[in-house]
Amino acid sequence: MSSQDSAQSSSKMPLLPIIGIVMFSFLGYLCTGIPLAVLPAYVDQTLGYGSVLAGLTIGLQYFATLLCRPIAGRIADTNGCKRGVVYGLIGIGVSGLLTLLATFLHGQPLASLLILLTGRIALGAALSIIGVSALSWGIARAGTEHTAQVISLNGVAAYGAIGLGAPLGVIFVDHQGLWTLGASLALLAVIGLLMVWPKRSEPVIAGERLPFIAALGRVFPYGCGLALGSIGYGTLTAFVTLYYASLGWDGAAYCLTAFGVFFIAARLLFTGSINRWGGFRVAIICLGIETLGLVLLWLAPSTSVAVVGASLAGFGLSLVYPALGMEVIGRIPASSRSAGLGAYAVFFDLALAIAGPLMGVVARGYGYASIFLISALLSFAGLLLSVWLARTKR
C-alpha cells in the first residue's frame, strides 16, 4: 500500500463519500438499462431489419466497452479519475443525442440504423471510461484496504441501475414516445456533469505506468478465475427463458429475480468477510456455492428447485469479483491502478461475450439443461484455480 493510501485508509470506510462517487456508475448503467428493452423491437419491427441486427444493436455496446478498457484505464491513471468520469458523461450525452436523431429518422431506416449503432458505440466507450474511473476514484478515496467494499458498492449500483433502467425505458416510450430514449440519456449526462463538477478530485499518483498488456499479464490468473465463475451468470440471463420453455414451465423471470436479489443481498451483507477471511478464501467458498446452484439448475425437477439454484448461483457469484479484485490490487502499482482494474474487468466482459455463443452450441447438441452442467464445471474450475492461487501466494 502506498503512503498516500495508508493516510487515506481507516478502520471504517467513509460510506457517504464513496456512494457519492459510485453514483456515477449508477448513472452510466442507468443509461445502459433505459434503451435495453426498447431498441431491439425498434430495429426489428419499426426499421424492419430483423432479430440479428436487433441483437447486434444491443451487443455492439458491450463490444465497444470491451475494446475501450485499455484507453479507459490510461485516461484515469494519467488525467485523473474525475476527468475520466467527465469524459464518460460527455460520451453518454453524445450517445443520447445520436439516439434522439435516429428515432426522428425512422422513416429512413438505413440512416436511422447507422446513427443508432454509432450512438451505441459511443455509449459503450463512455461506460467503459466511467466504470473504471469511478471504481478507481472510490478506491483512492476510501483506501486500498476497502477495495472489496468499493467494488461491491459499485457492482450493486450497476446491477440496480440496469434493473431500474429497463422498465423506465418502457414507461417513457409508452407514455411519451421513442424520442424519450435519447432525450433521457442526454438529460442524465447533464445531471451527472452538474454533480461531478464540485467534487474534489484525488491527485494523480506519480510512478510507473504499466502498459495495458503488462497489466493484463499481472491480473491474468485472477481474471481467469473471475471469467470461469461469471459464465454461469451469462448463461442464466441468456437461456433461462428457453430452458423453462423446453420443460413446459412458466415463470422464468422469477429465476432472474431470485438471482439478482441474492446477488445484491450478499454484496450488501457479506462484503466485510473479504477483509476478515481474505480474498482467496471467500472466492473459493463463493465459487463452491455458485457451483452447487448451477448443479441444482441442471437437475431441477421443478420450478421451485430451479429458483433455489438461481438464488445460490447469485449468492455465490456476488463476492467473486470483489474477492479476487482485492488480490489484483496488491499486484498493481497504485500509479497504474485504473489500468489494472480495466484489465481485470476485461475478463468479466469476455465471460458475458462468450457465454451466449458457447452455451448455444452446447444447447443445440445436448439440450438446455446441459448448459448449466457445463457452467457448473467451469465454476468448479474457477474454484480449483483459486485454491492453486492461494497456495502459490502462501
Mean pLDDT of 123-139: 88
Rounded CA separation 220/147 (Å): 19
| Average pLDDT of every residue of the chain | 85
What pLDDT, on the 0 to 100 scale, is given for residue 289? 97
354-388: pLDDT as tens digits: 887 788 888 888 988 999 999 999 999 999 999 99
What pLDDT, on the 0 to 100 scale, is given for residue 1? 39
Rounded CA separation 6/145 (Å): 9
CATH entry 3.90.1150.10 includes domain 8-196: no
Which of 257, 262, 207 minimizes the C-alpha distance to 237?
257
> How many CB atoms sit inside 10 A of residue 83's CB?
17
Cell numbers at residue 269, please? 451483507
What pLDDT, on the 0 to 100 scale, is given for residue 205? 64
Which of 201, 220, 205 minimizes the C-alpha distance to 340?
220
239-283: pLDDT as tens digits: 887 888 889 998 887 887 888 889 888 988 888 888 888 889 999
Query: Half-sphere exposure (CA, 13 Å, Cβ side) for 170?
Result: 9
- Residue range(s) of every CATH 1.20.1250.20 domain in the chain: 8-196, 212-393
pLDDT higher than threshold 90 for residue 98: yes
Cell numbers at residue 161, please? 441501475
Return the ∠ at Cα 179 (arms to 176 and 183), rounded to 5°.
105
pLDDT higher than threshold 50 for residue 9: no
What's the length of the chain?
Answer: 394
HEC string of the chain equals CCHHHHHHCCCCCCHHHHHHHHHHHHHHHHHHHCCCCCHHHHHHHHCCCHHHHHHHHHHHHHHHHHHCHHHHHHHHHHHCHHHHHHHHHHHHHHHHHHHHHHHHCCCCHHHHHHHHHHHHHHHHHHHHHHHHHHHHHHHHHHCHHHHHHHHHHHHHHHHHHHHHHHHHHHHHHHHHCCHHHHHHHHHHHHHHHHHHCCCCCCCCCCCCCCCHHHHHHHHHHHHHHHHHHHHHHHHHHHHHHHHHHHHCCCCHHHHHHHHHHHHHHHHHHHCHHHHHHCHHHHHHHHHHHHHHHHHHHHHCCCHHHHHHHHHHHHHHHHCHHHHHHHHHHCCCCHHHHHHHHHHHHHHHHHHHHHHHHHHHHHHHHHCCHHHHHHHHHHHHHHHHHHHHHHHHHC
Among all chains, which residue has been given the C-alpha cell 481467469? 224
Cell numbers at residue 150, please? 468499493
| Percent of the chain clearing pLDDT 70 (strictly above) | 94
For the four alpha carbons of 373, 379, 384 and 387, in that order, the dihedral sign comes to: negative
pLDDT higher than threshold 90 for residue 193: yes
pLDDT higher than threshold 60 for residue 126: yes
What is the Rg, in whole angstroms, of the alpha carbon atoms belonging to the chain?
A: 21
Confidence class for position 307, pLDDT limits 50, 70, 90: very high
Among all chains, which residue has been given the C-alpha cell 474525475? 82
What pLDDT, on the 0 to 100 scale, is given for residue 13? 63
What is the CATH architecture of 212-393?
Answer: Up-down Bundle (1.20)
**pTM above threshold 0.85:** no
Cell numbers at residue 323, please? 474477492
First to last CA, the chain: 19
Cell numbers at residue 92, please? 453518454
Give the range with max mean pLDDT: 23-27, 46-50, 143-147, 293-297.
293-297
What pLDDT, on the 0 to 100 scale, is given for residue 339? 77
What pLDDT, on the 0 to 100 scale, is given for residue 52? 67
